[in-house]
A and B are shown apart, each in its own frame.
Chain A
Amino acid sequence: MTQQRNEWPLWEIFIRGQHGMSHRHVGSLHAADSETAILNARDVYTRRNEGVSIWVVQAQQITASSPSDKGPLYEPSEAKVYRHPSFFDIPKEVGAM
């Protein structure tokens, strides 16, 4: 699709919590520049917890690996399932009343 608009660029947001873990990708948002991207990230993704560190990277600056064209696209699910955290059971209380 065309992009003739002067749209705010997309930023990828990485946050490190208080417990010494690495910065972790939490999502994206739009902002005019890196300074406001950080402010927006505080409001959208941290609710301003003390002690957190925020990285913002403009999405178009990220180079991502491409999935390989070689080899089978499909392997038996039995062999892979453990690699997919999102495949494990989601706690019942998530979203339930």
Chain B
Amino acid sequence: MYAQMVKSEATQEDPEKLAAFQARIDAGEKIEPKDWMPVGYRKTLIRQIGQHAHSEIVGQLPEGNWITRAPTLERKAILLAKVQDEAGHGLYLYCAAETLGVTRDELTEMLLDGRMKYSSIFNYPTLTWADMGAVGWLVDGAAIMNQVPLQRTSYGPYSRAMIRICKEESFHQRQGFDIMMKMASGTEAQMRMAQNALDRFWYPALMMFGPSDKDSVHSEQSMRWKIKMNTNDELRQKFVDQTVPQAEYLGLTVPDDKLVWNEEKNGYDFSEPDWNEFFDVIQGNGPCNTDRLAARNKAWDDGAWVREGLMAHATKKSAMKVAAE
């Protein structure tokens, strides 16, 4: 997901406090910034929310790649509004993380020097206009699977950020599917672009949910703390079951020979993505890792004088105000 492979921190604290804390969570109460919380809960959340925020910000880049080439004025406006939303979602999430005692600049630096990760999906290139459709349909579709349940997460500020994000994001997947419908029913070249986009994004989208539960060591504690609401495999299955009929509707072929409906489990059987590729991407060897981080670093470095200039002016102004009083 947008936060993949988030390592859950073990906690060694007063068992009585821990039990009371767990009881609050089990009872559906929200944990708020000033409440007592286990060190591990705090650390895991910072890592998870931070990674989620980084994914939104880096996630601006693959779609931003097509803003200047959008085919109509309306498509340009819709795409720009969507990528702008991602900036907003990153902003909300950084603010939620900041309530845990880390600053946005600290988180940003950890992204820029590689100490913190972002979702593997954004290291794949967007090569045609159909990729704008595929990203909205598949990537946002996968993200929504995870984000809707996260509205009920135990940490109050995170939950509130997710509620706002889900509300704003409702149009993202639709606009992607709308692009796909136009492309899939368009000219031969457009249909080829649409199929090609599905071919390239299908497995990376499946990887977004993270490795299989049997290989995922971090899930259990996070699920008890309600900062992870479903298992990776549950969400992946749900995503496949929802998406395959949509692909059929579009007249596109999901690139999986083994894809077949399984009556018994009331869901599809499907091929696993290539997990070696996933770990390669996570390690920095995806097609776009270098470009994505370079773009974020450049924006940050080039923007330093602006951030400092505005701060300096504000400081001067408030000094003058104090002097006048």
Contact = CB atoms under 8 A, between A and B. Distances in A.
Given A27-B95, A44-B88, A75 B103 contact: no
Q: Binding site of B, secondary structure by majority: helix, strand, loop or mixed?
A: helix
B148 interface: yes
A95 B147 contact: yes
Contact of A27 (B28, B103, B159, B164): B164
Given A7-B103, A80-B27, A97 B177 contact: yes
Contact of A5 (B105, B144, B169, B310): B105
A27 B92 contact: yes
Interface string B307-325: 1101101100110000000
Interface residues of A, number: 36
A69 to B, nearest CB: 9
A95 B144 contact: yes
| Residues of B in contact with A, size category | 35 or more
Given A1-B106, A7-B104, A67-B34, A94 B98 contact: no
Interface string B290-319: 000000000000000001101101100110
A7 B28 contact: no
Contacts of A75: 27
A6 B102 contact: no
A13 to B, nearest CB: 10
Contacts of B34: 64-67
A70 B101 CA distance: 25
Contacts of B116: none
Given A8-B307, A97-B141, A76 B27 contact: yes
A28 B160 CA distance: 12
Contacts of A33: 313-314, 317-318
Interface in A68-97: 72-77, 80-81, 84, 86-87, 90, 93-97
B174 interface: yes
Nearest to B317: A33
Interface in B88-112: 88, 91-92, 95, 98, 101-106
A29 interface: yes
B311 to A, nearest CB: 5
B170 A5 contact: no
B200 interface: no
A8 B98 CA distance: 13
A32 interface: yes
A15 to B, nearest CB: 13
Interface in A44-76: 44, 64-67, 72-76
The 4 lowest CB-CB distance pairs between A and B, nearest first, are A77-B27, A33-B314, A95-B166, A32-B314
18 contacts: A1-B102, A8-B311, A27-B92, A29-B91, A30-B104, A32-B313, A32-B314, A66-B34, A76-B27, A77-B28, A77-B29, A86-B159, A86-B163, A87-B152, A90-B148, A90-B163, A90-B166, A94-B148
